[in-house]
Amino acid sequence: MTPEQLADRVLAWYAIHGRDLPWRRTRDPYAILVSEVMLQQTQVERVIERWTAWLERWPTAGELAAAPRADVIAAWQGLGYNRRAVALHEAARAIAEHGVPQDQAGWRALPGVGPYTAAAVCALALDHDVIPIDVNVQRILERALDATAIEPPPGRGHDLTQSLFDLGATICLARIPRCEACPLADGCPSRGNRYEPARRQSRFEGSRRQARGQLLNRLREAPVPLADCDDEIAALLIKDGLAEERDGMLALPI
């Protein structure tokens, strides 16, 4: 299967099966930034409620920028990683002062915005022909194309991004992909594969140390998506100054 065939098939599938999510009804960069920051740590179903309430309270970057920091942090309760609220607040202040960035470099200059989020806002709000690679998109590309990136057809960056998000969330699942319902099944070399969950840590003495060492070794090779990490082990590494979280990834400290 070629990248072009993958794009055609996923786009056709999305036209029928795409999810109706509230942040897909807007192209407002600020609103999409809020959704992307919330989705980094929280399930879609819960973000729907929280994103809607957030946008009702602070409909624009300017209104969020003018809000007291304490209100912003309080409103973030339950969404995890409170420093994301602080970064979002700072980003809103930068947007209010300097305007909406028009390219990925401009977005990456904002507090708390890394390469993934910058690409996502550019694709979803500004219609740039770029595909942000999150853990779901990465999984599909690796399984179907043995690739790590894909170029969208001209003008289809937004739609192909949303298509891949949905295929990864509902069909090409991490452990047991639903290949029987997948538009890529005809031509996907990974069709029918199953992916075992990481073996549970035993209760034997030293097992946590072992897990920490294993994760740290993975980080020495490359950053690891936080979603793929054991929460407790990742937190221990961060607490010990051995790792830090950047844009949804666990990585060695800079």
Contact flag: residue 31 with ligand SF4 (CB under 6 A): no
Contact flag: residue 6 with ligand SF4 (CB under 6 A): no
Contact flag: residue 7 with ligand SF4 (CB under 6 A): no
Judged by CB, which is closer to ligand SF4: 79, or 188? 188
Contact flag: residue 141 with ligand SF4 (CB under 6 A): no
Contact flag: residue 188 with ligand SF4 (CB under 6 A): yes
Stretch that binds ligand SF4, among 72-80, 138-146, 153-161, 204-212 (CB under 6 A): 138-146
Alpha helices in the chain (DSSP H): 3-17, 29-39, 44-57, 61-66, 69-75, 82-98, 104-108, 115-124, 135-145, 157-170, 207-221, 231-239
Q: How far apart are CA 99 and CA 18, in angstroms?
A: 32
Smallest separation (angstroms) from ligand SF4 to the CB of 170 = 10
Residues pairing with 251 in the sheet? 244
Judged by CB, which is closer to ligand SF4: 152, or 177? 177
The count of residues interacting with ligand SF4 (CB under 6 A) is: 14
Judged by CB, which is closer to ligand SF4: 12, or 53? 12
Identify residues 160-179 at the interface with ligand SF4 (CB under 6 A).
171-172, 177-179
Q: Of 117, 116, 101, whose CA–CA distance to 32 is shortest?
A: 117
Q: How far apart are CA 158 and CA 92, in angstroms?
A: 23
**Residue selected from 140, 150, 164, 219 as contacting ligand SF4 according to rule CB under 6 A:** 140
Judged by CB, which is closer to ligand SF4: 185, or 242? 185
Smallest separation (angstroms) from ligand SF4 to the CB of 191 = 4
Contact 135, 225 (CB under 8 A): yes
Catalytic residue among 4, 36, 56, 63: 36
The residues near 81 (Cβ < 8 Å, ≥ 6 apart) are 40, 41, 245
Helix (H, G, I), strand (E, B) or coil at 249: strand
Residue 97 annotated among the catalytic residues of the structure = no
Judged by CB, which is closer to ligand SF4: 126, or 184? 184
Contact flag: residue 38 with ligand SF4 (CB under 6 A): no
Neighbours of 176 (CB within 10 A): 11
Q: How far apart are CA 201 and CA 211, in angstroms?
A: 8
Identify residues 74-113 at the interface with ligand SF4 (CB under 6 A).
none
Smallest separation (angstroms) from ligand SF4 to the CB of 184 = 4
Judged by CB, which is closer to ligand SF4: 112, or 177? 177
Q: Of 174, 150, 168, 192, whose CA–CA distance to 1 is shortest?
A: 150
Question: 200 to each of 54, 196, 208, how far by Cα in Å?
Answer: 38, 11, 11
* Per-residue tokens: 196: 């075992």
List the catalytic residues: 36
Would you tell me which residues interact with ligand SF4 (CB under 6 A)?
Answer: 140, 143-144, 171-172, 177-179, 182, 184-185, 188, 190-191
